[in-house]
Amino acid sequence: MDIDIILLGSFERWMKTLEFAPSTVYGSVRYVNDFFFYLKTVEQVSPEQIQTGTISRYLDYLNGRSKKNGPGALSQNYITSNINAIKRFSRYLEQTGRPSFEVSVKTIQEKHPLKTLITPDEIHALYKACDNESMLGIRDKAILGVYYGCGLRRSEGIALNVKDILLREKLILVRAGKGYRERYVPMTEGVRDDLEHYILVARERIQSFKKTKNEALFLSMQVKRMCGNAIIDRLQHLCQEAKLGKMIGLHCLRHSIATHLLQGGLTLEEVSHFLGHSSLESTQIYTHLSNEQETRV
């Protein structure tokens, strides 16, 4: 089988794993395929031989090329989308341990930047910013565990109930998954400890504010299920306390753990299962999650 076809298929799965929009996945594969065709007919090099000069010459080629259908040159948006697709491809190569290349074309104004990610050091700073002595700080650490450590979607974390946290088994039962599919998500020892501390200490204290019981995992100070905006507010508070210099959302945590797991050696298929893109049939993936543990305080 042609190596280009294999690479394009793996590149497509990588983008789907990181949940790029379907239109972005489709367009990126098409643009990179065009780039491969250029390499074969003009540069006569393989993807492993790509250099910065190759990208610059490809940009010149695009700027001088006519539209396939109709008169006139290619639009700037079309050229920008091409270069951004190649940047994604370069990032894919790097994160999957393949020979990569640098894309440093400064003449392109990026209108569609890559998804925001945070580094393991920044995750460490977020954990360190949690106040271990306060109810809010203990809850903050549990929030990081659910959205980074377990990679849950925003809606999945909000919908969690206490009974869904299986501490003994080190599993979270996600009942309200995408497509209404239930799945079990493994957690590290550290995430389990943080959730147990929150449930038995901080959450019990919050629950005592009212006589009525609430089954939700994440409770507000009004003893109601926390909404997405409230959880995001806590995350942004941690960003400020950690002095990250940027604000992030819950989906950024999900994208970041996916990237860190790929960098840690998991395959695209394993990360895809972990994120709930298909049914998770076993919990053997748990043995591969030591990378996340190293980022905790």
Of the candidates 88, 254, 260, 296, the residue annotated as catalytic is 254
Can you tell me which residue has the tokens 């659910």? 146
C-alpha span between 220 and 214 (Å, rounded) = 11
C-alpha span between 181 and 46 (Å, rounded) = 41
274 near 260, Cβ under 8 Å? no
Of the candidates 16, 175, 197, 286, the residue annotated as catalytic is 286
Distance of CA 88 to the CA centre of its chain: 14
Of the candidates 30, 57, 115, 251, the residue annotated as catalytic is 251
DSSP structure class, residue 65: P
Sheet holding 165-166, edge to edge: 165-166, 171-174, 183-186
243 is annotated as an active-site residue = no
CB contact set of 70 (below 8 Å; sequence gap of 6+): none
Of the candidates 124, 178, 197, 225, the residue annotated as catalytic is 178
R_g of the chain, CA atoms, integer Å: 22
181 is annotated as an active-site residue = no
61 is annotated as an active-site residue = no
Distance of CA 268 to the CA centre of its chain: 12
255 is annotated as an active-site residue = no
Of the candidates 153, 183, 203, 273, the residue annotated as catalytic is 153
Of the candidates 91, 170, 273, 277, the residue annotated as catalytic is 277
Nearest to 138 by CA among 217, 28, 53: 217
Task: List, in sequence order, the alpha helices (H) in the chain.
Answer: 3-17, 22-38, 52-64, 76-95, 120-128, 135-144, 154-158, 189-197, 203-207, 228-242, 250-263, 268-275, 290-293
244 near 146, Cβ under 8 Å? no
Catalytic residues: 153, 178, 251, 254, 277, 286
